Amino acid sequence: MHRIVFSTLAALACLFGVQSAAAQAYDARALRMSVNLTDLKVIVGSLPGHKVEKERIWGDGDEVDVSLRAANADGLVYVLVGTACEPSGCSGVMMQVRYECDSIDYARLNNANLNRSSITMWFDEDAKMLGVTRYVILDHGITMQNLRENLAVLLDIAPDAANDAMAAADSKAEDEDEAAGGVTDKT
């Protein structure tokens, strides 16, 4: 009886990626049609200077979700969220960088989306958050290298895209202040 319980627990641990990411080496050519938490940790660990800060598995039965928060060497924090998950893995990955932001110029945000077709930018007014997202569907397979490159693209584009959107909001606030009779130093 103890063997059955132990074997079942060991199988579940492997299924949900509980094993150490170090135990699974990065293999650029490995083809994935779904990912688990271990796969996400391996991708983060394959990027120089990147570290996982927090990881999470929640749900039960047919509803299992995985996510992690990581940061690069420059301190840019990002999240990887498994989507369309089943106990065997997640067939999508949402990659996001999120910034605190009080307001946004929606015209500039829309323009940023048009100019950067490889990402989607959004603003959550209630959470005061600007998000930059890249979504990858794994249904018919993707190599670990391509998955890692998708993350690298997001991390390369996100800071400039967010700065453009937030600078536009700052500029709009200055224009509104000036129109209301306020003095704005634009030096």
Torsion angle of C-alpha atoms 78, 19, 2, 58, degrees rounded to 10: 10
In a domain, 185, yes or no: no
List pLDDT tens digits, range 17-32. Answer: 444 444 468 899 999 9
How far apart (Å, rounded) are the C-alpha atoms in residues 65 and 82? Answer: 6
Q: What CATH number is associated with residue 26?
A: 3.30.1460.10
Nearest CA among 10, 18, 36 for reference residue 92: 36
How far apart (Å, rounded) are the C-alpha atoms in residues 49 and 71? Answer: 8
Contacts of 112 (CB under 8 A, 6+ apart): 121, 161, 164, 165
User: Would you say 100 and 129 are in contact if contact means Cβ atoms under 8 Å apart?
Assistant: yes
In a domain, 145, yes or no: yes
pLDDT value at 182 more than 70: no
**Nearest-5° angle of CA 40, CA 65, CA 2?**
95
Domain count, the chain: 1
List pLDDT tens digits, range 48-102. Answer: 999 999 998 877 766 678 899 999 999 999 999 999 988 889 999 999 999 999 9
Q: Name which residue leads in pLDDT, 43 or 9.
A: 43
In a domain, 82, yes or no: yes
In a domain, 130, yes or no: yes
List pLDDT tens digits, range 89-142. Answer: 999 999 999 999 998 889 889 888 888 889 999 999 999 999 999 999 999 999
DSSP secondary structure of 68-110: EEEE-TT--EEEEEEEEEETTEEEEEEEEEEEE-S---HHHHH
How far apart (Å, rounded) are the C-alpha atoms in residues 144 and 123? Answer: 30
The model's pTM is 0.75
In a domain, 187, yes or no: no
Domain containing 49 equals 2-179
Residue 43 pLDDT: 96
Residue 165 pLDDT: 85
Residue 134, token pair as written in the block: 């890249």
In a domain, 20, yes or no: yes
User: Would you say 58 and 78 are in contact if contact means Cβ atoms under 8 Å apart?
Assistant: no
DSSP secondary structure of 28-56: TT-EESSB-HHHHHHHHHTSTT-EEEEEE
In a domain, 115, yes or no: yes
